[in-house]
Amino acid sequence: MAAVLGVGVTVGLAATGGLGVRPASAAPAAVTAGESLASSPRPGPGAESTDAVAPEAAPLPAGVKTRTWTVARYAAAWRRANGREMTDRERDALARGCIGVTTVNIERGNINPPLGLSFGTFDKARAVQTALDAVLAGATGRADYADRVRRDPLLSTLDNVTGALPGGDPTQWTAVVFSKRFHSGQDSGWTAEETERAFRPDARGQVDMTDYRYRAKPGYVNFDYGWYDPATGDWWHANHAEPDMEIYQSTLRYYSRPLLDFDRQVYSVTFAKKATPAWYSSTN
């Protein structure tokens, strides 16, 4: 490949091979400079949702892959869905970028979203979410929750299900799904074979994230979290932390598109605090 000065002088670069001056005007561009495939911010009317922690938004129209939201508009949609403003702590959490979007929707403080229940496919995560919600619905306490998990044909085969439940009454929690994209090279001491084996689903479909250290592939973004919104079927993520943070509402295909930054993607299930949707009290 060649790198060529566009100032009338051709400079050879041994590291890159061939040469050739090609002024920009020599041929039409394949794509227009500055073109963005993302659509404009268009927050839509309210969508009914039993998940009060998701922002109030319309699904992406057919054919639209992603939509960009300002943080202010996202916070307004979140307020409409939850019937209250974000607290200062929640705004601080949101300002962390994609990981902040997932964090504020879990409503468990300014934490890193737990990764103990991570899976290789969205379908597996959804199955676990459904099973967990069934167990939570009838649980009378932590001991009963643990007993129900032991008797569940799916949950009983998985690691970390009992330990993942936060404190307090189990019925205050609901199971939710988010995704995380990241780089496998989390330990510079690993061999290439060890890195290749890391963070792969096991026979049950579960991914062991114990050795994950939040490290980026050198020169790239450290990760991208996507919050799954069951009301719209879309995924909420972000460009980066503040300043100049933008929030994206995307299809799973667009959120998961091949990117040089990441070589792994998991779908994680965790527990979010239940809340009453703002629309619920006025319509029921």
Q: 119 forms bridges with which residues in the sheet?
A: 206, 267
Query: What order do you get walking across the sheet with 224-229 strand by strand?
Result: 66-70, 246-250, 234-238, 224-229, 173-182, 264-273, 118-119, 206-207
Among residues 51, 152, 159, 242, the one that binds another protein under rule CB under 8 A: 242
Q: Which is nearer to another protein, 124 or 181 (CB)?
A: 181
Label residues 243-266 b or e (16+ Cβ within 10 Å = b): eebbbbbbbeebbbeeeeebbbbb
Least gap, CB of 97 to another protein (angstroms): 3
Q: What distance in Å separates the CA atoms of residue 192 and residue 225, rounded to the nearest whole number?
A: 25
62 binds another protein (CB under 8 A): no
DSSP 141-210: SHHHHHHHHHH-TTGGGSSSTTTTSPSS-GGGEEEEEEEEEE-S---TTS-HHHHHHTT-B-TTSEE--T
Report the nearest approach of another protein to the CB of residue 30 (Å): 5
- Measure the CA–CA gap between 214 and 223, rounded to whole angstroms: 8
Q: Note whether 240 binds another protein by CB under 8 A.
A: yes
208 and 199 Cβ atoms separated by less than 8 Å: yes
Give the nearest distance from C-beta 152 to another protein in angstroms.
31
If one asks whether residue 4 binds another protein (CB under 8 A), the answer comes out as yes
Task: Find, among 55, 269, 283, 279, the residue nearest to 173 by Cα.
Answer: 269
Establish if 192 lies at the interface with another protein (CB under 8 A): no
22-41 binders of another protein (CB under 8 A): 22-24, 26-31, 33-38
CB closer to another protein out of 95 and 275: 95
Taking CB under 8 A as the criterion, the residue among 225, 227, 228, 271 binding another protein is: 225
Map residues 97-116 to x or -, x wherever contact with another protein holds by CB under 8 A: xxxx--x------xxx----
By C-beta, is 167 or 218 nearer to another protein?
A: 218
Cβ distance to another protein smaller for residue 110 or 171:
110
State yes or no: residue 13 binds another protein (CB under 8 A): yes
* Pair 274, 107: CB distance under 8 Å: no
Q: Is residue 257 at the binding interface for another protein, with CB under 8 A as the rule? A: yes
Q: Is residue 219 within the footprint of another protein (CB under 8 A)?
A: yes
Binding of residue 63 to another protein (CB under 8 A): no
- Return left, alpha or beta for 63; rule: phi > 0 is left, psi -120 to 50 is alpha, else beta: left
Gap between the Cα atoms of 263 and 199, Å rounded: 10
Q: What minimum distance in Å lies between the beta carbon of 94 and another protein?
A: 11
Residues 82/53, Cβ–Cβ less than 8 Å = yes
Minimum distance between the CB of residue 35 and another protein, rounded to whole angstroms? 7
| Min separation Cβ 27 and another protein, Å | 5
Residue 153 in contact with another protein, rule: CB under 8 A: no
What is the CB neighbour count within 10 angstroms for residue 41?
14
Residues that bind another protein (CB under 8 A): 1-7, 13, 15-18, 20-24, 26-31, 33-38, 93, 95-100, 103, 110-112, 214, 216, 219-225, 238-243, 257-262
